[in-house]
Chains A and B, each alone.
Chain A
Amino acid sequence: MSALSIESLRVRFGAVNVLKGIDMEIESGEFIVLVGPSGCGKSTLLNVIAGLQSSSSGRIEIGGRDVTRVAPADRDIAMVFQSYALYPAMTVKGNITFGMECRGVPRVEREAALDRVAKLLQIGHLLGRRPSQLSGGQRQRVAMGRALVRDPILFLFDEPLSNLDAKLRVEMRMEIKRLHQRVGTTMVYVTHDQIEAMTLATRIAVMHQGEIQQFADPQTIYDAPANLFVARFMGSPPMNTIPVRVEAEGDKVVAVLSNDEGGRESLQLPRSREALAAWIGRDVLLGLRPECLSLHEKNDYGDGNNAIAHLSAQVEMIEPTGAETMALISLAGVEAMARLKADARPSIGSRATFAVNMSKVCLFDPQTELRIP
């Protein structure tokens, strides 16, 4: 069953097109993350799905029912807000049961639902408190409880973790994922944090300037970004994009880059000559994840893996994080990040030889910014 279906949805504020024709089809039980930089329209899209903002044109169906002109309360949704939006004058219990009260649910049922949610989120001991007496994490839990008590077709989350400190954010992220596995309800989750997107989603919609750039599962988004925007937005640090020229060497194709000493480095591309025939002799951008760049070690040679290429580059800076060491290197006149082993300490300013895992490289058309398939 389709839980949410959006057809050519547009939102315009005066002369500004905030959403420029969004189409989405979401199956029941999916965890969809809308991700993008601020101002990309992701929160607007969520508010339009909730009915808190109206669309200029287009159509929204929730659970197979057209709700384009239906009030938020009648859309069978529940929402968790960034600020939690707990009612300050009510206790936790009042906050959780307010919606049921508004909809005229009998007291016995309200108590039962409250009990179920309090157990699920372990907030039983907080029911008598007011929001001002709760910690950030507890408020977050109560806000989730208020949504969960409803058992709707669709849960909407508007950056629910962005007000928490880093440690709590990781904890709550796992808890939300566990929750989705337990209740199995369809969720639409807005965030600007691409790690949250990668860890939580069954499918990610990357948004930019009011349009969906790519809508796919996290691994596809990561490995095969549809365009340069997605490549540079997803991943931390993001994908390196290095200007290269595609050239043919016999029946192989290589990416040629000029290093900063005026020399040429050529990296063999894992594609057939036929597949890239149209690009031979042309400039493209080579997309390379930081983890595909590592320091060359002796035993890299001759292990039979022909997807490993080598090149030399200057180390500009290193950032040891404990688990790994990030190195900023200079490649073909641009800066690139390489993910090195934890104990790697190349000296700054020196040239080093890097092993490049070519099996996962992407090529992008510099004009259209689209990935070359």
Chain B
Amino acid sequence: MVESRSTGRAGGRFALYAVLVAFAAFYLTPLVVVFLNSFRSLEEITQTSVLGIPHAIRWENWAQAWGSYCIGGICSGISPYMWNSVAIAVPATLLSTLVGALNGYLLSLWRFKGSQIAFGVITFGVFLPAQMKLVPWAITLRALDLSDTVTGLTLIHIVQGMSFTTLFCRNYYVNVPADLINSAKVDGAGFLQIFRRIVLPLSPPILIVTVIWQFTNIWNEYLYGITFSEGSHRPVTAALMAFSANIAQAREYGIESAAVLLAALPTILVYLFGGKYFLRGLTAGAVK
């Protein structure tokens, strides 16, 4: 009786894992295809199909994708666009996180008349579709003389990111006991001193979450990138689009595959190194 139930349970567990493995394989198939193609030559692919095992490990596709393939007439591979993306994503991530932390601190621990409304208005930005903001941003960038610049895109991502980072940080700081702040007030610490000395040291879990979230979103952002930049000012996502729109010659699947993987590498690395903190941070509770 006991045995049959335990074998039944083992069978159920086997079925469960089988289903999970099948789903994982299904989701991973495109990545595997792209990865394999990044090592295959154009001949190899055209002779068979996009599905196939490479005959040999050859890095030419990767080298060309990085440094010499022509995109929109500029034969420098995707590397300059990768640097554009770094120049946008790194400062925009850091600044939007800092602004979000300050906003969250103010809105949770220094409540003032109307702070709930201010919080509502700021987080409303989370729900506004990006397309809706294209024209207002176009007007703003023109007025600031930042059209078609890396700085312009950075500014957009700082402002857009503020809604998310404020939401994250405010909901985290709400759990900081009010007595901690009161005690610091009696001790004579000011607004920024309390933030720097008492609140910030409690913040790593939520700051890691916002940094990962912001970096991934900004790096992968495409709509603003393609709308507000041209030629050499493009971020890598927009450059990839220009890459595959190169219809004058035959599709270089191998090089495209390598380029896509290169472009995806930073966010994958961020997730691999920060993923566990991400999950931990999202579930982190009150500060005791």
Q: Which residues of A contact B (CB under 8 A)?
A: 47, 50-52, 71-74, 77-79, 81-83, 85, 87-90, 98-99, 102-103, 132, 146
Q: Are A73 and B186 in contact (CB under 8 A)?
A: yes
Q: Is B177 an interface residue (CB 8 A)?
A: yes
Q: Is B187 an interface residue (CB 8 A)?
A: yes
* Given A98-B197, A102-B193, A132-B288, A85:B185 Cβ within 8 A: no
Interface membership of B188, Cβ < 8 A: yes
By the criterion CB–CB under 8 Å, are A85 and B180 in contact? yes
Question: 18 pairs across A/B with beta carbons < 8 Å?
Answer: A50-B182, A52-B182, A73-B186, A79-B182, A79-B183, A82-B179, A83-B179, A85-B179, A85-B183, A87-B180, A87-B198, A88-B288, A90-B201, A98-B184, A99-B187, A102-B188, A103-B188, A132-B288
Q: Which of A47, A78, A81, A85 has the most CB of B within 10 A?
A: A85
Contact of B185 among A72, A87, A89 (CB under 8 A): A72
Closest approach, in angstroms, between the C-beta of B49 and any C-beta of chain A? Answer: 58
Considering the complex, give the chain A residue whose CB is closest to the CB of B189.
A102
Of B185, B202, B287, B288, the residue contacting A73 (CB under 8 A) is: B185
Chain B residues near A (Cβ < 8 Å)? 177, 179-180, 182-190, 193, 197-198, 201-202, 287-288
8 tightest A-B CB contacts, nearest first: A89-B201, A99-B187, A73-B188, A85-B179, A85-B183, A102-B188, A81-B179, A102-B189
Whether A77 lies near B186 (C-beta < 8 A) is yes
In the docked arrangement, what's the CA distance between A83 and B175, Å? Answer: 14
Contacts of B189 in A (CB 8 A): 73, 98-99, 102
Beyond A98-B184, A102-B189, A103-B188, 5 additional contacts (C-beta under 8 Å) are: A71-B185, A79-B183, A88-B202, A88-B287, A102-B193
Q: Report the minimum CB–CB distance from B186 to chain A (whole Å).
A: 5
For A132, what are the chain B residues with a Cβ–Cβ distance below 8 Å?
288
Max chain A CB contacts within 10 Å: which of B186, B188, B189, B198?
B186
Residue in B closest to A77 when the chains form the complex, CB atoms: B186
B119 CB, nearest partner CB in chain A, Å: 20
Cβ contact of B182, chosen from A85, A88, A89, cutoff 8 A: A85
User: Cβ of B177 and Cβ of A85 under 8 Å apart?
Assistant: yes
- Measured in the bound complex, the distance between the Cα atoms of B186 and A51 in whole Å is 8
A50 cross-chain contacts in B, Cβ below 8 A: 182, 186
Min CB distance A341 to B, Å, is 45
Are B186 and A88 in contact, with the CB atoms below 8 A?
no
Min C-beta distance of A131 to chain B, whole Å = 9
Report B51 CB to chain A, min CB distance, Å.
54
In the complex, the answer to whether B202 meets A89 with C-beta atoms within 8 Å is yes
Q: Which residues of A contact B201 (CB under 8 A)?
A: 88-90
State A88–B180 Cα separation when bound (angstroms): 9
Question: Which residues in A have their C-beta under 8 angstroms from that of B187?
Answer: 73, 98-99, 102, 146
* Nearest neighbor of A53 in chain B, beta-carbon distance: B182
Name B199's closest neighbour in chain A (CB-CB): A89
**Closest Cβ of chain B: how far from A182's Cβ, in Å?**
22
In this complex, the member of A47, A73, A132 whose beta carbon has the largest number of chain B beta carbons within 10 angstroms is: A73
Partner of B183, one of A47, A81, A89, A103: A81
